Amino acid sequence: MTLPSWSGLRLLPCVVLVAQHFMAANRTSPSASLTHPDAELPHMGSVGGTGFGVGDVAVVGAGPCGLAAAKYLLAQGVFDSVVVFEQQSEVGGVWNYSADPSRTLRVPQQSPFCPPDPPIRPPGTPSPLFPSPVYEMLHANIPAPLMQFLDLDFPKGGLIFPTREQIQQYLVEYSQDVRHVVKFCTQIKDIRLRQEGGKDRWDLDAESTVTGEVFSRTFDAVVVASGHYSTTYIPDVASIEDFHRTNPGIITHSKSYRKAEAFSGKKVVVVGNAASGLDIATQVGRLSQQPLLLSVRSPTPPDKLERTGCQEVPVIVEFLPAERGVKFRGGRVETDIDSIIFCTGYLFSYPFLRGLGSSGITDGRRVYGLHRDLIHIDHSTIAFAGLPMKVVPFPLSESQGAILARVWSDALALPSKEAMRRWEDEMTSGRGPAFHAYPKGGDIAYINETYDWISRASPSGKPPPRWNEERVWMRQIGAEAKLEFERSGCAATSLDELGFHYSHANDQSRPPQEGRSPPSNPRERSPSTTLAQGTRIDLSHGPTWLGCPEPPGPASPPASPHARFAPPTIQTERDGPSQSQDYYSVLPRPS
């Protein structure tokens, strides 16, 4: 039988979808214990199952997001099987560090459809390694109490911004109760979709990375948690290819950066000023020829630039192969360059979805056809975990795992396909080209809205996180605290040590109280924060809901074990405090 292509399936006659919907609606679910079926939250879903009838679930990847998905799916207790496929021999994803970097380099590299980097096989290792983009000296850029999963704290007394080794140890510990469902050293090669009895069925081909043995298995639902820091992006600047051919070894990508020593005394240009660019420029700039040149598209905030000790220059507009040089916008030319490190990020890429017509799924910058950056709208038994960027990924992946566990067990209904498409259309016109890069406050909204939505479904299952005021505050001061952590020698074990004090009493969103003195230290920040022009998180009220109406009727939400403070509400100055609405509809484009 010839299987329809992904894009072809999107065009299946509506009648099939409608028939599917009605067939599904007649099935009952063991976990459907529901309230207020007509209470649809804007852009969320009503409470009540749609009859997916999911038995077997596959998860691709045992990085943080795959592990979290597996935990929530298993905790739901209704699926016949949950199997996690991981190509490496250990969990952890990017945190599963390899001293050996990737040996693959394509210059330029703008295609999300290039073949994945082949693994490396260091002598004496039984299984091949898929090199991670994490480098030797790397600390978390999110404070540990905020970064961690709900059910496991980073060890007490540890660094407030843990090292990569500590994060990997933490993930290995976090994986203990799901390791029995992880198939290690197993790479998913292909995923195909077919219809059986009006239901989606997913045929997965897998290969052992050790023996090369190939096998197939069919699942009812798939979580794609394969990460998106693997396929590099290097822009196609004039003469870059010629430069690379003439001067091999000068151009590299941050994915293969490991340590600064190799750049000692060299003339170095770092391209890109996001997290990798700034961190690598700081490390390399200490040993390289002075000053290291940091080539940027948009200016680096002064405090961050100062920390790097680098000289900021504009984007490279042309490579000069004969002079081993580059020309920057504005005309400045630098020659005899020893190293150019592209810290220009990565592309979304799903080589194992090629059979589904992966060009309809991603163009490298975005995954198309998803509701809430997660669930495929037309085939809602496939989901893409961990896509949002500029967020706190671990807890957000718990929210996503909790959604999938409820939706696929029919404890929670998705909105209609039309409503989900409308949501995506609205996002398409509202968000910029970096579609999955969330603006400030986006993760707060996602996490807390999810909690609120899920609180209204079946009481069964593992609760997702909900951020209280203190966590919202940590999210606000995190980047500044990381700078202070670095300035003070990377040894602090608490935010207090760095001069950041959480104090509920300093919440300036509360009415002034007699005798209350203003905070003496500017870092004693109020948990109330400006998100963007006209939009703010207001923590001054009681338990109202993030852009969602108060749940009607008797179903009041259970208290989160972490909710020691009133949950935040999102308001817009435009709409005032009384009007409920979907938060995402008021978010500005990410900057």
Ligand X SMILES: Cc1cc2nc3c(=O)[nH]c(=O)nc-3n(C[C@H](O)[C@H](O)[C@H](O)COP(=O)(O)OP(=O)(O)OC[C@H]3O[C@@H](n4cnc5c(N)ncnc54)[C@H](O)[C@@H]3O)c2cc1C
Does 279 bind ligand NAP (CB under 6 A)? Our answer is yes
Separation between Cα atoms, residue 128 and residue 105, nearest integer Å = 19
Instruction: Count the helix, strand and coil residues of the chain and give each as a percent rounded to the nearest 5.
Output: 30, 20, 55
Using CB under 6 A, pick the residue from 127, 141, 195, 289 that binds ligand NAP: 141
Does 343 bind ligand NAP (CB under 6 A)? Our answer is yes
Separation between Cα atoms, residue 560 and residue 468, nearest integer Å = 9
Does 167 bind ligand NAP (CB under 6 A)? Our answer is no
Unique residue bearing structure tokens 């992880």: 182
Query: In 3D, which of 463, 461, 469 has the Cα closest to residue 542?
Result: 469
Separate counts of helices (H) and strands (E) for the chain: 12, 23
Residues 381-400 that bind ligand X (CB under 6 A): 386, 392-394
Query: In 3D, which of 540, 556, 548 has the Cα closest to residue 508?
Result: 540
Q: Cβ of 78: how many Cβ atoms within 10 Å?
A: 18
Cα 283 to chain center, whole Å? 25
Q: Which helix (H) or strand (E) holds 569?
A: strand 569-572
Does 358 bind ligand NAP (CB under 6 A)? Our answer is no
Using CB under 6 A, pick the residue from 72, 202, 219, 229 that binds ligand X: 229
Separation between Cα atoms, residue 136 and residue 129, nearest integer Å = 16
Shortest distance, CB of residue 289 to ligand X, whole angstroms? 25
Give the nearer residue to ligand NAP in terms of CB position, either 42 or 145: 145
Give the nearer residue to ligand X in terms of CB position, either 147 or 222: 147
Give the nearer residue to ligand NAP in terms of CB position, either 236 or 425: 236
Contacts from 288-295 at CB under 8 Å and sequence distance 24+?
A: 288/260, 288/263, 288/264, 288/339, 289/265, 289/338, 292/268, 293/268, 293/269, 293/334, 294/269, 294/270, 295/269, 295/270, 295/271, 295/328
Binding piece for ligand X, criterion CB under 6 A, among 64-72, 148-156, 292-300, 366-374: 64-72
Using CB under 6 A, pick the residue from 271, 444, 477, 498 that binds ligand NAP: 271
160 binds, among ligand NAP, ligand X, none (CB under 5 to 8 A by kind): none
315 binds, among ligand NAP, ligand X, none (CB under 5 to 8 A by kind): ligand NAP
Does 344 bind ligand NAP (CB under 6 A)? Our answer is yes
Largest CA distance in the chain: 78
Does 85 bind ligand X (CB under 6 A)? Our answer is yes
Binding piece for ligand NAP, criterion CB under 6 A, among 2-10, 29-37, 341-349, 541-549: 341-349
Beta strands 316-320 and 311-313: pairing type?
Answer: unpaired
344 binds, among ligand NAP, ligand X, none (CB under 5 to 8 A by kind): ligand NAP
Separation between Cα atoms, residue 536 and residue 569, nearest integer Å = 9
93 binds, among ligand NAP, ligand X, none (CB under 5 to 8 A by kind): ligand X
Does 66 bind ligand X (CB under 6 A)? Our answer is yes
Residues 255-294 that bind ligand X (CB under 6 A): 276
What residues contact residue 75 under an 8 Å CB cut-off, 6+ apart? Answer: 405, 461, 462
Give the nearer residue to ligand X in terms of CB position, either 88 or 468: 88
Residues 301-360 that bind ligand X (CB under 6 A): 352
Does 498 bind ligand NAP (CB under 6 A)? Our answer is no
**Which tokens belong to 549?**
């109406």
277 binds, among ligand X, ligand NAP, none (CB under 5 to 8 A by kind): ligand NAP
298 binds, among ligand NAP, ligand X, none (CB under 5 to 8 A by kind): ligand NAP
Query: In 3D, which of 346, 370, 297, 319 has the Cα closest to residue 111?
Result: 346
Shortest distance, CB of residue 167 to ligand NAP, whole angstroms? 9
Cα 96 to chain center, whole Å? 17
Per-residue x/- track, 118-157, ligand X (CB under 6 A)? ------------x--xx-----xxx----x----------
Unique residue bearing structure tokens 């991603």: 362
Residues at the site binding ligand NAP, with contacts judged by CB under 6 A: 138, 140-141, 229, 235, 254, 271-277, 279, 295-298, 315, 343-345, 389
The binding site for ligand X (CB under 6 A) comprises 60-66, 85-88, 93-95, 130, 133-134, 140-142, 147, 187-188, 225-227, 229, 276, 352, 386, 392-394
